[in-house]
Every structure is written in C-alpha cells, then in structure tokens.
Structure 1
C-alpha cells in the first residue's frame, strides 16, 4: 500500500483522533477494507498513519461506537460494517438545541437499562471484557484527558453492547458524541478519576454476579455524579434542575427523581 493513501488531512481545526477516524472511514468506504476484514495491528496502523497509538486507539474506539469496527479479544480490530455513510457518528438525528442535562437524563435511563439487561444476557466473555475495560480506565493516567475519555467510553460501550439490544445501542451511539465535549472537560483531578474507576468496578462486580438490580442501581449512581455536577452549573436554571433521592441498594430500593 502506498504511503500517500494513508496521509491524514491537513485540517488543523480538528483534533488528531478525528483526523485518524476520518482517514480510516475513508479507507473502509473506498473498499480498501471489507466487512469481516482484519485491520492491520495497532503498531502497524500507527506507523502507516504516523501517529501515536493513544490517538489511534481513540479513533478506533469512536468507530467502534458507530458500529463500523469491532475488537475481538486476542485477535485485533475487524471491520464490522462498510455502510459508513449510514452509520454516521450520530445515527439518529438529534435537535441541536437539546441541553446537556436532557442528554444526561436520557443517558441515565438508557445505561441503567443496559446494565440490567447485560446482567441477564451477557456471556462470560462479555463480562470479562467489561471488567478489562474497567481496569484500563483505572490504570489510565490522570493527566491524559484523551486516554481517560477513551477508556471511559470503551467501558460504557461494552456494557451497552452486552445488553444485546440493537436499538438501545443505536440510541446510546447518538448521545455519546453530543456529550463528549462536556465529559472531556469534566476530568480534572485524580480524585474524580479514582471515583469513576471505583464506580466502574462496582458495576462490573454486580454484572459478574448476574445481579440485575445491583447493576442497574450501581450504573445509575455512577452517572448521577456527572449529572449532579452539571445540574450545579450556573447555566442550568434552578427550576429545571432535578436529582435522584439518596438510597442504598436492597431488594425494594429504587432511585426516584424529584425537584432539587
């Protein structure tokens, strides 16, 4: 393969992972790689694109969220779908006026359901993959925002995929890009990173035990931290704020929304 076909766009307005994503989408759309084809290894891709592997992994993870590529444990990255135009980064059209708080409320509902379904439907390999993604996020450097975002998104995407609900997965994929900017800015301290990593572990713990209720509540609790942080911002009108009641998990307990 000639080097020129792997050259990235010179568009300096886009972050590097987005330029890599665009190039890989272009290669797939052009027919260079077909559905079911194994992509070159990460080191080889990084060399051909002349980029760092961290930026490459971020681009691959974004394509994974769109359903274009998938990773198979111990085997590498594969093309899942060549319908690049149909699997846009936002497969469902969302009104640009939708607020971050609205998006997060829907995300809580989707991922809580996904976690409970995953506890019932996921196979052992998928549960192990979720635990691995939780570990990757835990060991990511607190100073590397892009790595924190990538490993966090990979964990949540693995839980949603394990729900085995295609529509739920499409809805989730429509939300992720809309929230990426805010989530990137939410990483700020080692304490926040440690809290996030601990809560990922809690979700994985309940999933491993096939505890549907525990998985649902632990995922809700995890996402509630991000939601409450957003709700406390000055640009969210007080009369539009809501929160969840404080609760501890048992057989009868469920989170309930109320005005803050």
Structure 2
C-alpha cells in the first residue's frame, strides 16, 4: 500500500503526466528497496483503478489522475463547485496542512519546496504570475503533510480551480496585478520558511493569513 500510495501521489502531483511512462519494475525495486512482488501488486492495483495501463513489451504508462468511477462524475461535480466553495475549503483545510507539513516534511520535500519557491521568485521578478507554479507549491505542501486524505482533498481543489471558469476570471483580475503578484510571492515565501524551520504554529498562522488575503483580494477589491 505504501508503494501504491507513493506512485499515486507522484501521478496526482504531476511528477508523472498523463501519457508518461513510469520507471521500469527494476527501477522501482531499487527505488523502494523491495522485490518485484510488491511492485507488481501496486502496479496491478493502480491499473485496476484506471490510473495506469500497460503496453506489452513497452512498459507502463499514466492513464488518468482519477479512478474510472471518479472520472464519470468528476466533470459534473467540478462544474457545481463555486469560487466561494473553493476559498471556504482552502481557508479551512490549508492551515492544518501547513502545520502538519512543518511537523513532518523531509529534507527532500523541503528541497523541492525551495526549488518551487525559487521558480516563483524568478517568475515574479520577471513580471509573471504562473498559476501552475502556485498550484504545484500548495500540492507539495500537502504532500509534505504525509496525510493521504489531505493530498486527495488538495487534488480535488486544484482540479476545481483549473476547470472552474469563474475562479479563473476572479484570479486573473487579482493575482496577476503587479501589487498582488509581489505580495502573493512574499506570503508563499514566508510559509515555506516556516515549514523549513519546523515552526508549525507560524506556518499555520501564515497560511491562515494567506487564505484570508486571497478571500479579500477576490471579493472585496
């Protein structure tokens, strides 16, 4: 199950995109330090759920970021989600996620957070706001919480943000503004620093403030 969860997390975080080829069984064995049996069990479970598919003699490829059952209802569900739903959910859950990330983040995860915040800094300095970088940073924080349900929640929220037309409209008239773009980066940078320094109360507080500021920017300005 740990191997299954890890590979699934990589798929849902976007490390492996739809159509990408997964590492070979031999490479996965080396990565996880196990024999081929548990690797094959994990891959079989992922294929049965509809996340991956295999090509005879070629390898295993990513098919979807949701299960087959979820794919049937995903579009209708996301279309019913309002921007208010998105912000309300994020305001409630992300401070707790940040707190747990500060408690549990590994050095490898912190290094990845540093890399992503550095990318956001470069984009901000160049006068750009890239939603994908912002979304990836929040997903990486969720992954650092080491709570599979939090990762799933953030995956659904990220999908809703990507597909909800009104959310994109509100986002594009606020965060893309130079003053908000710079403030947005600074807020993210402070959250990552708190996680890196294992300051869980600070990380939760900063994330709460960040979410409240998002609400204020989207609806009060």
**TM-score bin, normalised by smaller chain:** 0.5 to 0.7
Q: Relative to structure 1, is the Cα distance of residues 185 and 86 closer, same or farther in structure 2, using a 3 angstrom cutoff? A: same
Q: Who is 2:116 aligned against?
A: 133
Supply the distance in 2 between the matched residues of 1:197 and 1:80 (Cα, whole angstroms).
37
Supply the distance in 1 between the matched residues of 2:137 and 2:65 (Cα, whole angstroms).
26
Q: Relative to structure 1, is the Cα distance of residues 159 and 187 closer, same or farther in structure 2, using a 3 angstrom cutoff? A: same
Alignment of 1:189-228 (within 5 A): 189-228=177-216
* Structure number with higher helix proportion: 2
Post-superposition CA distance 1:181-214 (Å, at most 9, x none): 2434433322211101111111011111101111
Is contact 1:103-1:175 (8 Å) kept? Answer: yes
Supply the distance in 2 between the matched residues of 1:225 and 1:121 (Cα, whole angstroms).
26
Give me the CA root mean square deviation.
3.1
Supply the distance in 1 between the matched residues of 2:199 and 2:119 (Cα, whole angstroms).
23
After TM superposition, the score normalised by the length of structure 1 is 0.54
Supply the distance in 1 between the matched residues of 2:109 and 2:60 (Cα, whole angstroms).
17
Post-superposition CA distance 1:67-89 (Å, at most 9, x none): x79xxxxxxxxx9973527458x
Q: Who is 1:82 aligned against?
A: 62
Supply the distance in 1 between the matched residues of 2:213 and 2:109 (Cα, whole angstroms).
26
Q: Which gives a bigger RCO, structure 1 or 2 (Cα 8 Å, sep 6+)?
A: 2
1:162 maps to 2:150: no
Q: Relative to structure 1, is the Cα distance of residues 192 and 230 closer, same or farther in structure 2, using a 3 angstrom cutoff? A: closer
Q: Relative to structure 1, is the Cα distance of residues 86 and 210 closer, same or farther in structure 2, using a 3 angstrom cutoff? A: same
Is contact 1:140-1:151 (8 Å) kept? Answer: no
- For these two proteins, the number of residue pairs brought into alignment is 164
Q: Relative to structure 1, is the Cα distance of residues 87 and 192 closer, same or farther in structure 2, using a 3 angstrom cutoff? A: farther
Supply the distance in 1 between the matched residues of 2:66 and 2:159 (Cα, whole angstroms).
16
Is contact 1:101-1:230 (8 Å) kept? Answer: no
Supply the distance in 1 between the matched residues of 2:212 and 2:188 (Cα, whole angstroms).
13
After TM superposition, the score normalised by the length of structure 2 is 0.63
Q: Who is 1:104 aligned against?
A: 87
Is contact 1:115-1:207 (8 Å) kept? Answer: yes
Q: Who is 1:254 aligned against?
A: none
Is contact 1:149-1:183 (8 Å) kept? Answer: no
Supply the distance in 2 between the matched residues of 1:176 and 1:86 (Cα, whole angstroms).
13
